Amino acid sequence: MEEFDFGMVGLGVMGRNLLLNMADHGFSVAGLDLDAEKAASLEQEATEEHKVKGTTDAQSFVALIKKPRAIMLLVPAGKPVDAVINSLLPYLEEGDIVVDGGNSYFPDTNRRVEELEAKGIHFFGMGISGGEKGARFGPSMMPGGNQSAYERLRPIFEAIAAKVNGEPCVTYLGKGSAGNYTKMVHNGIEYAIMELIAETYDLLKRGFGVKNETIQQLFEDWNNSELASFLVEITADILKKNDEVTGKGLLLDYISDTARAKGTGKWTSQNAMDIQAPVPSIDAAVQMRDISKYKEERVAASKLLPYDGIATDIDEETLLKTLKDAFYFSMINIYAQGMAQLYIASKEYDYGLQLEEVAKIWRGGCIIRAVCLEDFRKAYDANKDLPNLLLDATLAEKVGATQQAARDVVKLAVDKGVPVSVFMTALAYFDSYRSETLPTNLIQAQRDFFGAHKYERTDVDGIFHTEWN
Ligand SMILES: NC(=O)C1=CN([C@@H]2O[C@H](COP(=O)(O)OP(=O)(O)OC[C@H]3O[C@@H](n4cnc5c(N)ncnc54)[C@H](OP(=O)(O)O)[C@@H]3O)[C@@H](O)[C@H]2O)C=CC1
Ligand SMILES: O=C(CO)[C@H](O)[C@H](O)COP(=O)(O)O
d(CA 407, CA 440): 23
Closest ligand to residue 134's CA: 1
Among residues 183, 266, 324, 416, the one annotated as catalytic is: 183
Taking the C-alpha atoms of residue 208 and residue 202, their distance in angstroms, rounded to an integer, is 9
Ligand 2 contact via 330 beta carbon (within 6 Å): no
pLDDT per residue as tens digits for the range 374-395? 999 999 999 999 999 999 999 9
8 Å CB contact between 314 and 412: yes
Q: Is the dihedral angle over the CA atoms 361, 365, 368, 372 positive or is it negative?
A: positive
Q: Are 257 and 292 in contact (CB under 8 A)?
A: yes
The pLDDT tens digits of the residues spanning 90-129 come to 999 999 999 999 999 999 999 999 999 999 999 999 999 9
Q: Which amino acid is at 451?
A: G
Query: Which positions ≥6 away from 99 have C-beta within 8 Å?
Result: 70, 71, 72, 73, 123, 124, 125, 126, 143, 153
% of the chain surpassing 70 pLDDT:
100
Nearest one of 44, 98, 104, 62 to 80, comparing CA atoms: 104
Residue 190 annotated among the catalytic residues of the structure: yes
Among 48, 18, 15, smallest CA distance to 34 is for: 15
Q: If you average pLDDT over residues 13-24, what whole number do you get?
A: 97
**CA 129–ligand 1 middle distance (angstroms):** 14
Cβ of 264 less than 6 Å from ligand 2: yes
- How many angstroms is it from 105 CA to the middle of ligand 2? 13
d(CA 188, ligand 2 centre) in Å:
10
Q: What is the DSSP letter of 172?
A: -
- Find the helix packing angle between 316-349 and 264-274, rounded to 10°: 60
The reported pLDDT for the residue numbered 2 is: 86
Ligand 2 closest atom vs CA 261: 13
**What atom in ligand 1 is closest to the CA of residue 84?**
29
C-alpha closest to that of 337 among 388, 266, 379: 388
How many Cβ atoms are within 10 Å of 146's Cβ, its own excluded? 20
The CA–CA distances, whole Å, from 199 to 204, 301, 418 equal 8, 20, 8
Q: Whose CA is nearest to atom 34 of ligand 1?
A: 10
Cβ contacts of 411 within 8 Å, gap of 6 or more: none
Ligand nearest to the CA of 289: 2
For ligand 1, atom 15, the nearest C-alpha belongs to: 12
Q: Which residues contact 442 (CB under 8 A, 6 or more apart)?
A: none
Q: Which of 129, 137, 131, 229 is nearest to 170 (CA)?
A: 129
Rounded alpha-carbon distances, angstroms, from residue 106 to 69, 110, 145, 178, 183:
24, 7, 11, 8, 10
Pocket residues for ligand 1 (CB within 6 Å)? 9-15, 32-35, 38, 74-77, 80, 83-84, 102-103, 128-129, 131, 262
- For the segment 256-277, the average pLDDT, to the nearest whole number, is 97
CB of 129 within 6 A of ligand 2: the answer is yes
Topology, domain 6-172: Rossmann fold (3.40.50)
* Cβ(231)–Cβ(197) below 8 Å: yes
Q: 170 phi and psi, to 5 degrees?
A: -155, 140
What's residue 20's pLDDT? 96
User: Collapsing DSSP states into helix, strand and coil, what is residue 128?
Assistant: strand
Instruction: Give the nearest ligand 1 atom to 103 CA.
Output: 43
Q: Is the pLDDT of residue 1 over 80?
A: no
**293: amino acid identity, one letter:** K
Domain boundaries defined on the chain: 6-172, 183-433
Per this entry, what is the length of the chain?
469
**pLDDT, tens digit, for every residue of 207-238?**
999 999 999 999 999 999 999 999 999 999 99
**Mean of all residue pLDDT scores within the chain:** 97
Q: How many CB atoms lie within 10 A of CB 298?
A: 13
Please give the share of the chain, as a percent, with pLDDT higher than 90: 98
CA gap 430, 332 in Å, rounded: 10
Over residues 167-222, the pLDDT tens digits come to 999 999 999 999 999 999 999 999 999 999 999 999 999 999 999 999 999 999 99
Q: What is the pLDDT of residues 415-434, one digit of tens each?
A: 999 999 999 999 999 999 99
- Rounded distance from Cα 234 to ligand 2 centre (Å): 15
One-character DSSP codes across 50-77? --EEEES-HHHHHHHBPSSPEEEE-S-S
From the CA of 78, how far away is ligand 2's center (Å)?
15
- CA 94–ligand 1 middle distance (angstroms): 26
Q: Is the pLDDT of residue 73 over 90?
A: yes
Indicate which residue's Cα is closest to atom 17 of ligand 1. Answer: 12
- Name, in order, each residue with C-beta under 8 angstroms of 70's C-beta and a sequence gap of 6 or more: 5, 6, 7, 96, 97, 99, 152, 153, 156
Ligand 2 pocket member 140 (CB < 6 A):
no
Band (446; pLDDT cuts 50, 70, 90): very high
Pairwise CA distance, residues 20 & 3, whole Å:
17
Distance CA 125, CA 105 (A): 10
For residue 190 and ligand 2, the question of a CB distance below 6 A is answered with: yes
Instruction: Give the number of whichever ligand sits closest to the CA of residue 126.
Output: 1
Q: Is 101 helix (H, G, I), strand (E, B) or coil?
A: coil
ipTM of the complex model: 0.98
Ligand nearest to the CA of 84: 1
Q: Give, using CA atoms, the residue closest to atom 48 of ligand 1.
A: 131
Residues 306-346: tens digit of each pLDDT:
999 999 999 999 999 999 999 999 999 999 999 999 999 99
Architecture of domain 183-433: Orthogonal Bundle (1.10)
Beta bridge partners of 128: 141
Residue minimizing CA distance to atom 7 of ligand 2: 262
Tens-place pLDDT, residues 129-157: 999 999 999 999 999 999 999 999 999 99
CA angle (35 as vertex; 32, 36 as ends), nearest 5: 85
Cα(288)–Cα(291) distance, integer angstroms: 5
Ligand 2 center from residue 186 Cα (angstroms): 10
Q: How far is residue 77 CA from its own chain's centroid?
A: 15
